[in-house]
Structure 1
């Protein structure tokens, strides 16, 4: 991978990102020229309606998708133009993903679900430590079917952070949860961001969640329409939606 111009605190730098999907004869422009810098230790909320480009942007940052145009740098590495093997290594070593649906393996316990990731990571946490961090130290040997939705999402977060990623990318992590359970999950993400210093990017269409972020980036129709910093962040337990 080729080097990018250095920037002291930048984890991701995106310049002129575009993404066009071809569906038969129809072209869908998902991103229309995104310029963005995300910095170490930030908790960032990407806010916007369905179809605004949030998930496409997150997937490009995480190396799950590639842009149609523009450039993305991760630290001093250029992701655009990287080989599939390089992107796979980038995802494995540097990025944790949390999705709306937990994607746990039903036949494995909480500990085993987390261990499935730590076994292929270069400098992982112990699965027990990751589960303790998300408040599930007493549920190590429970199977997903024995856990509530919120507990399953916390196992998914433990799995994502157990490889000690520099970046945690979360796509609607509370989307399948009621608000009380959602707040518990957000408290876990807040704790991970604070204690591990992990750059955390959280997609939501829920404006109430934006109050816990350092910065809120609002997308509409493939454009960034607003970036604001919260002078005072709310704790997750103070949020309501």
Structure 2
């Protein structure tokens, strides 16, 4: 696959990764998760990181989110050099700039949907009002329900509302449809597309489902810790048009 230059679109990259590598020490064995990754991300775009399990997608996502540091290379977000940041600096970066959506929802069982969303607004600089965030994912009417009273898809949508309530600059999603059935998964993708459009956050979704890639501005193909190629789409498919 031919790699398309990210610089060709003429915009300034908000994220710049250069020669990023990550190696984990597993006792006497070293496991290479990433090697030689160069990647730019631009404001408001929807990016899919596509690859099989173990390809390095989650490691790359964790480095983008400041949950992990590269072993080599540089990671810069705007004027934040994440490579050199200490733990306090990475915590501040995550709090002020990043929203996370994981495969499993991580909601607090004893709190209502609204209370789960409201938690993050207490630490955000310019939060979205919690009820509005729930409204963005179509769950304002379920605000007083506890997680156990919600379906899996509804819980995932609450998790998305919680992430977007921070008004993040970058929204990182780790297999957000992996635990959902087909129709519910498409509904969640529709919510992510809406959030990307309305908030203008860089949205990065990692998946092994190639069908999801059609809704992306760009698709980054990852295998064995390296980027094999980058596809750029002239037009994005709507989630309702996807099938798998």
TM-score, reference length from structure 2: 0.95
Question: 1:190-218 CA deviation, whole Å, 9 max, x = no partner?
Answer: 00011111100000000000000000000
Query: Which whole-Å CA distance do the structure 2 matches of 1:104 and 1:137 have between them?
Result: 17
2:221 paired residue among 218, 222, 230 = 218
Counting only pairs closer than 5 Å after superposition, residues 195-206 of structure 1 correspond to structure 2 as 195-206=198-209
Question: 1:64-99 CA deviation, whole Å, 9 max, x = no partner?
Answer: 000000000001221101010010000001000000
Count of matched residue positions in the alignment of Structure 1 and Structure 2: 235
Query: Which whole-Å CA distance do the structure 2 matches of 1:120 and 1:48 have between them?
Result: 34
Q: Are residue 37 (structure 1) and residue 50 (structure 2) matched?
A: no
Query: Which whole-Å CA distance do the structure 1 matches of 2:43 and 2:17 have between them?
Result: 15
TM-score, reference length from structure 1: 0.96
Q: Are residue 186 (structure 1) and residue 185 (structure 2) matched?
A: no
Deviation of 1:8 after TM superposition, in Å, equals: 5.3
Query: Which whole-Å CA distance do the structure 2 matches of 1:93 and 1:156 have between them?
Result: 18
Return structure 1 stretches of 4+ with deviation > 4 angstroms. Answer: none
2:24 paired residue among 13, 21, 27 = 21
User: What residue number does 2:212 align with?
Assistant: 209
Query: Which whole-Å CA distance do the structure 1 matches of 2:182 and 2:38 have between them?
Result: 32
Query: Which whole-Å CA distance do the structure 2 matches of 1:156 and 1:37 have between them?
Result: 27
Question: 1:94-116 CA deviation, whole Å, 9 max, x = no partner?
Answer: 00000000000000000000011
Query: Which whole-Å CA distance do the structure 2 matches of 1:104 and 1:217 have between them?
Result: 30
Query: Which whole-Å CA distance do the structure 2 matches of 1:116 and 1:155 have between them?
Result: 12
User: What residue number does 1:68 align with?
Assistant: 71
Runs of at least 5 residues in structure 1 that lack an aligned partner in the other structure:
1-6
Deviation of 1:11 after TM superposition, in Å, equals: 1.8
